[in-house]
Amino acid sequence: MSKDAGGRIGTVAALVRSTFLVNAVYANSAREYGLTQQQGQLLCVLMAQPYGMSELGAVLGLAKSSLTGLVDRSERNGLVRRTSDPQDSRAVRVSLTGQGAKLADEFYAETCRRVEELASGLAPAERDTLAALLGRVVTDNKVPSVFVEPDSMR
């Protein structure tokens, strides 16, 4: 059951429903920028630094074949480039192109604004509590930093 006797939503239902909510915002934002949700995630991850393919697969939670297809499509669209890894000539690193970096910055800023709006009905102290609790959940479960806090990108 998703609600207790007081009409409140339980932890499981709240987490699952909030995931759907954030995913919908993320997907809508990506679509408006001409991206798939996975391309948006790829661009946001690459904003911080270039990654090797195996690292990128681990961060995004994608199998090698899915990641290769995603990078291929993004490369064809001029958003990312592959370069040789200086430490391992058999490996490649994926980084943003100039066009990809510009699109990533715009997409990131707008998506952050939209996600921030989701909690606009909460008082500042409630927002801080929500952030602290969710932060503990993702930290305790070792969720990779696919999408970092907007203030840490500046």
Q: How confident is the model at residue 87 (pLDDT cuts 50, 70, 90)?
A: confident
Does position 148 have pLDDT exceeding 80, yes or no? no
Domain with 131 in it: what CATH number? 1.10.10.10
At residue 89, the pLDDT reads 79
Does position 20 have pLDDT exceeding 60, yes or no? yes
Instruction: Detail the DSSP E strand segments found in 54-146.
Output: 80-85, 88-96
**Position 46 in a domain:** yes
Q: Answer whether 85's CB lies under 8 Å from 73's CB.
A: no
When the pLDDT of each residue in the chain is averaged and rounded to a whole number, the result is 90
At residue 1, the pLDDT reads 45
pLDDT above 70 as % of the chain: 90
φ/ψ of 16, rounded to 5, equals -65, -45
Does position 85 have pLDDT exceeding 90, yes or no? no
pTM, two decimals, is 0.83
> Residue 55: which domain range?
11-153
**Position 67 in a domain:** yes
Q: How far, CA to CA in Å, does 119 sit from each of 59, 85, 123, 132?
A: 26, 41, 9, 14
What is the count of structural domains for the chain? 1
**Position 3 in a domain:** no
How confident is the model over 48-76, as pLDDT tens digits? Answer: 899 999 999 998 989 999 999 999 999 99
Q: How confident is the model at residue 82 (pLDDT cuts 50, 70, 90)?
A: very high
